[in-house]
């Protein structure tokens, strides 16, 4: 991986535990970090974000090598991992902190995000109209350390075994068949 040509993308697709876990398995992804973005409070804590009063979404900041994995491939994974037709929720996780959102850094990235959103919606993967928010990126706040790699450290925690684990297995089957997963 060429560290000089790495790019980042920030988006939210519900609870960051499974999103972060899945992206860290992809070839070309140097890191996926759970955190918060899109709100009005500096240095928010998990407890504050969970109230829905900070305006932040649970997000993942992905650092990747575009020579190995493209923005479009990352968007395909993003739309695979969550239901972009659910407003401010994913399953039983309810609140604005679980919204579907893509943060873009400039007009070129906004255009790529708009195209990815349109392509996914037209694919028919999810029934219904997409509610994914497109918003300018302002600041990413890394979540507390115990959230990083949470599923890997806590696979038997009830939420992880009931929700995250099955989603990861579905992800591994699909993207493994496409040859997109790290083998180490």
Beta strand segments in 65-105, E: 89-90, 93-94, 100-104
Sheet with 140-142: strands ordered across? 133-136, 100-104, 7-13, 57-64, 29-37, 140-142
Say how far apart CA 11 and CA 134 lie, in whole Å: 9
Q: Is 22 a catalytic residue?
A: no
Nearest to 117 by CA among 94, 133, 96: 133
Q: Specify which residues 104 forms β-bridges with.
A: 136
Q: What is the DSSP letter of 143?
A: P
- CA 29, distance to chain mean position in Å, is 13
Q: Tally Cβ neighbours within 10 Å of residue 180.
A: 19
Instruction: List the catalytic residue out of 15, 18, 22, 160.
Output: 15
- CA 50, distance to chain mean position in Å, is 17
Give the helix/strand (H/E) hosting 127.
none
67 near 5, Cβ under 8 Å?
A: yes
The residues carrying an active-site annotation are 15
């Amino acid at each position: 991986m060429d560290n000089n040509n790495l790019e980042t993308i920030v988006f939210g697709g519900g609870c960051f535990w499974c999103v972060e876990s899945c992206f860290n398995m992809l070839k070309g992804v140097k890191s996926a970090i759970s955190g918060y973005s899109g709100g009005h409070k500096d240095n928010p804590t998990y407890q504050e974000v969970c109230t829905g009063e900070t305006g932040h979404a649970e997000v993942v900041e992905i650092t990747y090598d575009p020579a190995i994995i493209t923005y479009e491939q990352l968007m395909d994974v993003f739309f695979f991992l969550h239901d972009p037709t659910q407003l401010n929720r994913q399953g039983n996780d309810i609140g604005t902190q679980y919204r579907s959102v893509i943060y873009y850094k400039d007009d070129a990235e906004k255009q790529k995000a708009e195209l990815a959103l349109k392509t996914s919606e037209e694919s028919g993967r999810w029934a219904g109209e997409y509610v994914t928010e497109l918003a300018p990126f302002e600041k990413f706040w890394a979540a507390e350390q115990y959230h990083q790699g949470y599923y890997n450290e806590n696979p038997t925690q009830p939420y992880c075994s009931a929700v995250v684990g099955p989603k990861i297995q579905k992800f591994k089957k699909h993207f493994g068949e496409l040859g997109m997963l790290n083998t180490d």
